[in-house]
Amino acid sequence: MNNSALFKIGYGLYILTAKDGDKENGCIINTLLQVTSSSPCVGVITVNKQNFTHDMIMKTREFNISILNIDTPFDVFKHFGFQSGRTVDKLSNYKNVVRSSNSLVYLPEYSNAYLSFKVTDTIDFDTYSMFKAYIMDGDVINNTESVTYSYYQKHIKPKPQEATKKGYRCVICGYVYEGDPIPEDFICPICKHGVNDFVKI
């Protein structure tokens, strides 16, 4: 374990990967915290329950994190964040993957570090689960700066096009709900955010 990999953690964006039998998947998350620095190190993540990767982790109790850097193109976020592993095999034709010692993949091409985790506890938060996990392995891939959520919003995510439809736009991913009013329990089919993240257009 290269402890310098822990220095890459920030309020950033990450690719979470897991495996259940022959099925592998990955998704975008934005919550990763280092809780302790003593051995073994403990980290926590939160994952939306609608993500297929969530179900894999609940079953297998292990996962990898690829810490994305500022060179990550929007297509990577789109590939891993705007479609579901329940209907798309996101890793089947994805070239640049490497397996860590736990046999799970991480994506080195646009990452500056990776970490491997073993889940020790799960806390339920209604629509999300928090996974507390031991950090089992990890390494630094390069020294490119980690991408923060703010950097993604300002420099990577495409600016929304001028509205041609009436309804509500998701401020997270740009999805447009057509109609008025938007139902209070509506969940964005792309990024899984609720109506609080929609603005009227």
Q: Is the peptide bond before 73 cis (omega within 30 degrees of 0)?
A: no
Beta strands in the chain (DSSP E): 14-20, 23-29, 32-34, 42-48, 62-68, 98-99, 105-106, 111-125, 128-140, 167-170, 176-178, 198-200
Task: Indicate if the pLDDT at residue 19 is higher than 90.
Answer: yes
The pTM is what? 0.78
Task: Indicate if the pLDDT at residue 9 is higher than 80.
Answer: no
Q: What is the pLDDT of residue 14?
A: 93
- Joined together, the tokens standing for residue 115 give 């970490």
Q: What is the pLDDT of residue 175?
A: 86
Q: How confident is the model at residue 123 (pLDDT cuts 50, 70, 90)?
A: very high
Q: What is the pLDDT of residue 3?
A: 78
Q: Which domains can be identified in the chain, with CATH numbers?
A: 3-152 (2.30.110.10), 159-200 (2.20.28)
Q: What is the per-residue pLDDT across 126-157, written as a single tens digit (0 to 9) for each?
A: 999 999 999 999 999 999 999 998 899 899 99
Q: What is the pLDDT of residue 153?
A: 87
Mean pLDDT value across the chain: 91
Residue found under tokens 């590939």: 79
Q: What is the pLDDT of residue 40?
A: 79
